Chains A and B, each alone.
Chain A
Amino acid sequence: MDNSEIRARVRNVIQETLALKDPIEDDNVSLRVDLGADSIDLASLVLVLEEELPVGIDEIGMEHVDTVQQIIDYVIELAGKGNA
């Protein structure tokens, strides 16, 4: 899976999990501030990301990311480490 596909899938997962009406176009939006995600939403996001992408995600690692871009980078990093 290349990085552009990871980007597309992460965007779709965030849109689905947070029930956003419109697709994500700006990767610099904050999940917590701009999209209103709380800790339950972020835990849900971890589960859905793991189902959609071949990575195992550490909840603690997710605590340090906030924007869509940071999540994309985090998933790309995990995929690069073969953390599946």
Chain B
Amino acid sequence: MPDRVVITGLGVISSIGLDVQSFWRACLDGCSEIALIPEQWRKYSDYNSGIWSPLPELDYKALGFIRTEIMQRDPVSLIAMAATEQALDQAGLFREEANPRCNQYYIPGIDSNRFGVFVGTGIGGANSFLDNQAFQMLSLTKSKLTGLLGETTGEARELLDLLYHPRRLNPFVVSMLMPNAVSATIGIKYSLHGPNRTIAQACSSGTSAIGSAFRCIRSGDLDYALCGGAEYLYDPYGGIYRGFDIANTLARPGNDPETANRPFCNKRSGFLYSEGGAGMLLIERECIAKSRNAEILAEVAGFGESFDASSMMSNAGDGRQIERMIENALGDAGIQSSDIDYINTHGTGTQINDDIESRVLEGVFHDRPIVNSTKSILGHTIGASGAIEAITSVLSLQHQTTHICKNLDEPIAKLNFVKEVAPHNITHALSESFAFGGHNSALILKRYE
């Protein structure tokens, strides 16, 4: 009989909260963070959307990072570590200093060889790549142009200012931009020697990272895992944003940015682009959690995956692989579709996703389970989204309630969408994610009793 796998720690960095408590409060209150995109980005292009969900200003030193760490890590790795710190604290796994020069720690009382790290990210340290590439491309050109033009004002000055680049090429840039830097950063920080994996499958990265960790613990290969997802989608020129915008995937604000993000609504127009975020979970064998008297928040009961093999940028129209993913997850958990009480959807707010996802859910579950989209409040954090939504599902199981599906005036399907925060009996939750490329993944999370 395989060991049960339980969740004992959660951590969140998001635009609506920099810790689990404030994130959950914002979810229940339906409070989004929506703003116009940075003015700097508008100097390079016009955009169809023009809104996003920015992160609060992060004081990395206050979060415990030293200066050299901040200089050597992409923001995606820093926010992943910040969320990890929260998860470890909640799990009661305290750290001792190992090497103050690089702010490295170890966790006493655990077998570090049986402690894994599994982190999903869509674009890893693209911010560092773009920033340093700007230096490589522009620094000499700008310097020569400045020399040729001398002291300039007016339009020439404005054009020179457009050639923004950082002050230098960072000697750590390669180790900052590589996607595996996110999971490696965490493994190094806490001296963890178990499998250290990066799952890069766009919007389902976080979900698959948790699922992969779950399987390693259930099989008996590991005792503990830190798992989740992280993404940082800012760049100085707005090029990443423009990539999503030009593909017509982003919400169009019209006259009201506050209601532009409306998954599963007839009036939907795309997703709300988030600056980024991180969601990290500490999962472990049930017997270990019990032996150290850790508070068990919920259980990971099943994981299922499938691949569309259809289109790089769209779900397969028949939804068959999403159905198969759900069947796989239910089978893995040993339950029936009628056992699912709550579904945290992928729910982006794009025309195609919501149409196909809602049709599949209606077919498999009818209108029994309650349904919401965390993206309707938070926006889309790409590689972090699945992990943050798994955390939302855990919180919903713990508190026996969940947040509304925001801005849903005209539902496109007869699903049991959450319209108000109210008590619910939730034993099993399904949290599902789909990704550019065609990767589908789902977790079954269970109330711990």
Contact = CB atoms under 8 A, between A and B. Distances in A.
Q: Which 10 A-B pairs have the closest CB atoms?
A: A19-B101, A19-B100, A43-B171, A44-B68, A47-B71, A17-B68, A18-B101, A48-B67, A59-B171, A48-B68
A46 B67 contact: no
Contacts of B67: 16-17, 48, 51
A59 B168 CA distance: 11
A69 B353 CA distance: 63
Interface of B: 67-68, 71-72, 100-101, 167-168, 170-172
For the complex, would chain B's binding face be called helix, strand, loop or mixed by DSSP majority?
helix
Interface in A7-32: 16-19
A43 B101 contact: no
Nearest to B171: A43
Given A18-B101, A19-B101, A41-B101, A46 B171 contact: yes
Contacts of B68: 17, 44, 47-48
Contacts of A17: 67-68
Contacts of A59: 171
Contacts of A51: 67, 71
B171 A48 contact: no
24 contacts: A16-B67, A17-B67, A18-B101, A19-B100, A19-B101, A41-B101, A43-B171, A43-B172, A44-B68, A44-B71, A44-B72, A46-B171, A47-B68, A47-B71, A47-B170, A47-B171, A48-B68, A50-B167, A50-B168, A51-B67, A51-B71, A56-B167, A56-B168, A59-B171
A44 to B, nearest CB: 4
Contacts of A50: 167-168
Nearest to A44: B68
A6 to B, nearest CB: 19
Contacts of B171: 43, 46-47, 59
Contacts of B72: 44
B44 to A, nearest CB: 27
A74 B81 CA distance: 36
Interface centre among B68, B72, B170 (most CB of A within 10 A): B68
A48 B101 contact: no
Nearest to A39: B171
A55 to B, nearest CB: 11
B347 to A, nearest CB: 42
Contacts of A41: 101
Interface centre among B72, B171, B172 (most CB of A within 10 A): B171
A17 B72 CA distance: 12
Contacts of A47: 68, 71, 170-171
A16 B100 CA distance: 10
A46 B168 CA distance: 11
Contacts of B100: 19
Interface centre among A18, A46, A47, A56 (most CB of B within 10 A): A47
A19 B67 CA distance: 11
Contacts of B71: 44, 47-48, 51
Contacts of A44: 68, 71-72
B102 to A, nearest CB: 8
A49 B414 CA distance: 62
Contacts of B170: 47
Interface string A34-76: 0000000101101110110000100100000000000000000
A10 to B, nearest CB: 15
